[in-house]
Amino acid sequence: MSSGNSVYHFNSAIVREPSRSVVDGLRAGEHASPTYERVKAEHDDYIAAMRDAGVRVTILLALEAFPDSIFVEDPALVFTEGAILLRPGAASRMGEAAAIAPALRDMFDTVLDLPGDGYVDGGDVLTTPQGVMIGLSARTDKTGAEALAVCIDKLGRKAKLVATPEGVLHFKTDCSLLDEETVLSTARLARSGVFKDFKQIIIPEGEEAAANALRVNDVLMVPAEHPRTLDMLDRLGYRIVAMKTAEIGRIDAGLSCLSLRWYRKGE
């Protein structure tokens, strides 16, 4: 496997089992609730796909007190160089960083706490070869983003604050990294010019939810419910693994939210 210098080569990941309370997860619209059984099935398939891609997966126990805790990417960030505990922007998720901290301290020599009193959700953070983009959103404020940029700098990386389109939950709701120089983006995010230094693949109209794909080593996990996007990416030569996301989509989530991924040296 390639070294940890690449931003999508991973050999380690953390996931958390869904709680039965996941049916009460946050959602922006009037979606029907998911069922625990179907969320669990999607999550099990996700773990299997990660392992098939060559990743060692650590599975944390469910947290019934936190319905959204299956989405481990929001309360923390991980890199080869260390981890950062965040402060999610939704009040009901405020205890999730403290809950995941022991696992991160067990696995990383360096674990930084987000300083100050700002908010950051990991769903607003896109790591690219050119640096780490932090999207300002309803869940990530400027104070939190600037504090996170300082933490990222301490880990030897550089960060850049960018804007998330109005009405979009997270920056990564609308984009994902396909390879070292290419991003998958919705038209509304691409129009902002944030990806002017990248090759851009634009999601077909009406399939915007497919923008949250996930590149892991040689495979590209893509939400299975979006056939035109799947066909487009397949024709472009990406090795596609179609993943069911209908249930987690009911609680405003996508593929990247479900894991913390990094390259652990010496594995």
- Cα separation, 14 vs 17, in Å, equals 10
Q: Which one of 43, 170, 175, 226 is the catalytic residue?
A: 170
| Predicted local confidence at residue 5, as pLDDT | 54
* Burial class for 197, CB neighbours closer than 10 Å (0-12, 13-18, 19+): exposed
| Predicted local confidence at residue 267, as pLDDT | 73
- Cα separation, 127 vs 51, in Å, equals 21
For residue 179, say whether it is annotated as part of any ligand binding site: no
Clarify whether 257 is annotated catalytic.
yes
Clarify whether 170 is annotated catalytic.
yes
Q: Render the burial of 96-108: b for 16+ CB within 10 Å, e for the rest.
A: bbebbbebbeebb
For residue 139, say whether it is annotated as part of any ligand binding site: yes
For residue 68, say whether it is annotated as part of any ligand binding site: yes
| Predicted local confidence at residue 266, as pLDDT | 85
| Predicted local confidence at residue 2, as pLDDT | 41
Q: Model pTM?
A: 0.96
For residue 73, say whether it is annotated as part of any ligand binding site: yes
Helices (H), 83-241: 96-107, 142-154, 187-190, 227-235
Query: Which one-letter DSSP state was computed for residue 245?
Result: -
Tell me the mean pLDDT per 10 residues along the chain, length 267. Answer: 69 98 87 92 98 98 97 97 96 96 98 97 97 96 98 98 91 97 97 96 97 98 98 98 96 94 91
Nearest alpha-carbon partner for 119 in 143, 99, 95, 96: 143
- Cα separation, 87 vs 185, in Å, equals 26
For residue 27, say whether it is annotated as part of any ligand binding site: no
**C-alpha distances in Å from residue 3, one per residue of 133, 142, 154:** 21, 33, 21
- What domains appear along the chain, each with residue ranges and CATH number? 12-262 (3.75.10.10)
Q: Identify residue 72 by its one-letter amino acid code.
A: V
For residue 267, say whether it is annotated as part of any ligand binding site: no
Nearest alpha-carbon partner for 56 in 6, 2, 106, 13: 13
| Predicted local confidence at residue 3, as pLDDT | 46
